[in-house]
Amino acid sequence: MSASCRADDRSLAAPLAPADVIWVDGLKVLAAQFIVWHHFVLYGPVAAAAHEAAPEWAAWLAEHGRLAVQVFLVVGGYLSAQSLQRALSAPVTVGGVAGLVWRRWQRLMKPFAVAMVVTLWAAWLARRWMVDADTPPAPSLAQLWAHALLLQDWLEVPALSVGVWYVAIDLQLYMSLLLWAALAQSWAAWARGGLLLVAVAASLWVWNLDSDWDMAPWYFWASYGLGAWVQRGAGLRSSWQRAVALGLMAVVVVLALDLAWRSRVALAALVALSLWWAAQCRPLRLPLKIKAVLSALATQSYALFLLHYAASLVVSALASRWGLVDAQAAWWLLALSWALSMLAAAWMTRILAQPMVWPWQAPQPVAQQGR
């Protein structure tokens, strides 16, 4: 594995410098695994037994595993800014903006809807076979509608599964970034960048300091915006422009951490720096099989994020029914939950690979055979 940094000044290059795909895939895979194990040691009777069996390791995962979500936020901001830069290369229209939002909603909601059905079934099974305060109760109609609209946190409706807040926040962050890109499309490059930096600074210096805003996109712009800033800065034409962009980001982050140390912000800054490095350097040299595995696991990371709680509910319910929940078996049961989660994620990613087509949409015309 090796990588070397480019020395060109990109004076003739387009202002778009994609980060190394393998690096991005690796970040997504690693973050997904930490989030999964973080939740495994937080909820259910098997989690309690795991703390009894390995208290230090379980406590570390419970306390610090949640920081991995910062990786998804920064990478999400980077990739969204990259895709919007391509999508909005032509003059933007209201229909074009609506189409981008619709495609994003479809991408998020199709796996989300399937995962919620699976999780509701798993919770029903868990309520029958075990008694645990963390098991979600039967959902109300209001809960179902709130989740369908991705407004459960704004409406203060109990979540149907762990981590569903992120799906709503992802859509809100994308829409806010799209709004910025569309409104500032005709502005000078320095003005667009200035507005983006102001949004990041406001989040880091004001909103991200108040946890009461943790259901709102402006709270998470502290991390998401750093990813978007890196995507813009790393693609600037000249080396001095890139140096200024990196320096401004450093100043904003240092001042934010001076106001109040937040490990989540520090990690987000490190991830942003790694993406900057990955955009400046040659791609990592890895065997094709390893690249293929990383790519597949990265593609499945969203499904894994959505389905792992259902898998843990099923394993906990079965283990409780058969009296297998104890300290000796706890980590074996968690390993079984992990394996089931990985299989479920691969299954859902495979079956949902086709684009969503609604009943009222006309079918695509079939190409005529040559005569």
Q: Per-residue pLDDT tens for 42-77?
A: 999 999 999 999 999 999 999 999 999 999 999 999
- Which residue reads 């406590």 in tokens? 59
CB 342 within 8 A of CB 312: no
Q: Is the pLDDT of residue 13 over 50?
A: no
Structure tokens that stand for 236 in this block: 């600037």
pLDDT tens track for 86-134: 777 667 777 888 889 999 999 999 999 999 999 999 999 999 999 888 8
Compute the average pLDDT of residues 316-321. Answer: 95
pLDDT tens track for 213-228: 888 999 999 999 999 9
Structure tokens that stand for 53 in this block: 């069996």
Q: How far apart are CA 115 and CA 105, in angstroms?
A: 15
pLDDT of residue 346: 95
pTM of the predicted model as reported, rounded to 2 decimal places: 0.89
Q: Which of 154, 119, 117 is nearest to 43 (CA)?
A: 119
Structure tokens that stand for 362 in this block: 């006309």
Q: Give SS3 for 5.
A: strand
Least confident of 33-42, 141-150, 232-241: 232-241
